[in-house]
Amino acid sequence: MTDPTDLPVLLVVEDDEGLQRQLKWAYEGYRVVCAGDRASAVDALRVHEPAVVTLDLGLPPDPDGTAEGFLTLSEILYIKPDSKVIVASGHGARESALKAIAMGAYDFYRKPVDIDDLGLIVARAFHLHAIEAENRRLEPSAGSAVLGSMVTAAPEMLKVARTIERVASADVSVMLLGASGTGKELLARAVHDQSGRPGAFVAINCAAIPENLLEAELFGYERGAFTGAVKSNVGKIELAENGTLFLDEVGDIPLPLQVKLLRFLQERVVERIGGRTPINVDTRVVCATHQNLEAMIANGGFREDLYYRLAEIVVKIPSLAERAGDAVILARHFVNRFSRELNPAVQSIAPDALAAIEAYAWPGNVRELENRIKRAVIMSDGKSLTSADLDLPVTGGELPVPINLRAAREVADRRAIRLALSRTENNISGAAKLLGISRPTLYDLLKQYQLQA
């Protein structure tokens, strides 16, 4: 007989005790844990670490609304972001579904519950969770190129890469949210490269072009449309036919032009300035911004209907400071690249520089790191870059709140092992020495945490 503790855990967050019993009876292949409110759901999440959660949005003290349910969803995804959360509601189902998926829920179903339908969704969620867990197990610990050219070993960024791979082939608009320098254009190119579209990748920085010229850049113009228009010009949207249009800093598009862009997204037709002939255009739209568009919508600076057209899929890109170990990995990558191009005498990074790179907060993200390494390679007179070459102050940061004490130790161990391996370029003996442990102990930890050197 199967030991119940060996079964995958399903957390059912539902205040109806009768439905709790019904769901518990229906899922014989899982260890079902039930919770009736947000507090008990969070407690169960920390204790049992479920792979899949079903969540009724109508929780006390707001059983007739969804506010408490969405707050619970937010806490679950913050504490255990790899959980697959399946959300249920009978209140404004379509709006609730869109909001839940945008927040990171895996799927949505409408009440009243059909046990068979829900069972299929749950089974798919467990299957996907198992596949993602296996992918994480196979990920290299000290960094590799993903999506063609993105160098990372951080779970946060690998999750972004997996999302890009999944949505690239779907004909949906993608919005990339992240601070300046986090690699939004690199990811936009990855969406295009993975999409299979034969057309060009066409990028335009909406913040870099004066407002009175942006419309002409996007939509093109006919000869004589305005003073200086001596010939017809094809706009960026048309140039991206059968390809991808990347709108960088989309939050800087002025309101009058937002109306015209919305019309294109709805009808997939453009009219050049001064023209009267509609032109059909098939292009995938990817956009990016570092601004808070929801706040801009509230303040009247950005159209809500345009936002939902552009943000069918939203991908949040972590800052470099949130990507444990990546700063050192990327630093080595940039040193190798720039030394070949600019100063072959530079061959490595000194230990004091590695420590400074690990400690620095990187407010300018990957772009700042790349620029500092490039400048240091050019100016250095030695074989190894020092902290003085990089001109780095020493700062620190805080680790995210763990799910529980066992997970806290695992987070700390994984972080330390990744950093040690990245600093020693995957040398087991060197990494063990940095960690103050023996080589056999490090091998045991690598096996325990399913890391690869």
The CATH code of the domain that includes 282 is: 3.40.50.300
CB 297 within 8 A of CB 311: no
Residue 161 resides in a domain: yes
Say whether both 306 and 337 belong to one domain. no
pLDDT tens digits, 51-88: 999 999 989 998 888 889 999 998 898 788 788 999 98
Say whether both 218 and 76 belong to one domain. no
Residue 453 resides in a domain: no
Name the residue with tokens 């113009």.
221
130 C-beta neighbours (distance < 10 Å), count: 12
Helical ranges in 268-364 per DSSP H: 293-298, 304-310, 326-342, 351-359
Say whether both 120 and 199 belong to one domain. no
Average the pLDDT over each of 31-40, 57-66, 360-369 and give the range with the smallest value. Answer: 57-66
Say whether both 210 and 291 belong to one domain. yes
Residue 397 resides in a domain: yes
CATH number at residue 68: 3.40.50.2300
Q: Which of 136, 166, 192 is where one domain is finished?
A: 136
The two beta strands, 279-280 and 269-270, are: antiparallel
pLDDT tens digits, 197-247: 999 999 999 999 988 899 999 998 888 777 777 788 889 999 999 999 999
pLDDT tens digits, 94-107: 788 888 887 888 88
The two beta strands, 244-248 and 284-289, are: parallel
Q: Give the chain's domain count.
A: 3
For position 452, what pLDDT does the model report? 67
CA 361 to chain centre: 19
Return mean pLDDT, the chain: 86
Say whether both 295 and 201 belong to one domain. yes
Say whether both 391 and 332 belong to one domain. yes
Read off the pLDDT band of 149 (50, 70, 90): confident
Read off the pLDDT band of 403 (50, 70, 90): low
Say whether both 311 and 345 belong to one domain. no
Residue 145 resides in a domain: no
pLDDT at 400 over 50: no
pLDDT at 356 over 80: yes
Q: Which of 276, 301, 316 is where one domain is finished?
A: 316
Residue 141 resides in a domain: no
Q: What is the spatial distance between Cα 131 and Cα 314, in angstroms, rounded to a whole number? A: 22
| Residues forming beta bridges with residue 53, ordered by sequence position | 11, 85
pLDDT at 41 over 90: yes
Q: Which of 291, 316, 341 is where one domain is finished?
A: 316
Say whether both 262 and 344 belong to one domain. no
Q: What is the spatial distance between Cα 328 and Cα 435, in angstroms, rounded to a whole number? A: 16
Residue 143 resides in a domain: no
Q: What is the spatial distance between Cα 13 and Cα 15, in angstroms, rounded to a whole number? A: 7
The model's pTM: 0.58
Task: Give the type of residue at 99.
Answer: K
pLDDT at 192 over 80: yes
Task: Give the type of residue at 248.
Answer: D
Say whether both 326 and 285 belong to one domain. no
Say whether both 131 and 80 belong to one domain. yes
Name the residue with tokens 């791979």.
165
Token output for 100: 């839940």
Say whether both 352 and 397 belong to one domain. yes
For position 140, what pLDDT does the model report? 43
Domain containing residue 157: 153-316
Residue 146 resides in a domain: no
CB 77 within 8 A of CB 103: yes
CATH number at residue 358: 1.10.8.60
Residue 144 resides in a domain: no
Say whether both 338 and 352 belong to one domain. yes
Long-range CB contacts (within 8 A, 24+) of 11-14: 11/35, 11/41, 11/44, 11/45, 11/48, 11/50, 11/52, 11/53, 11/54, 11/83, 12/53, 12/54, 13/41, 13/53, 13/54, 13/55, 13/56, 13/59, 13/72, 14/54, 14/56
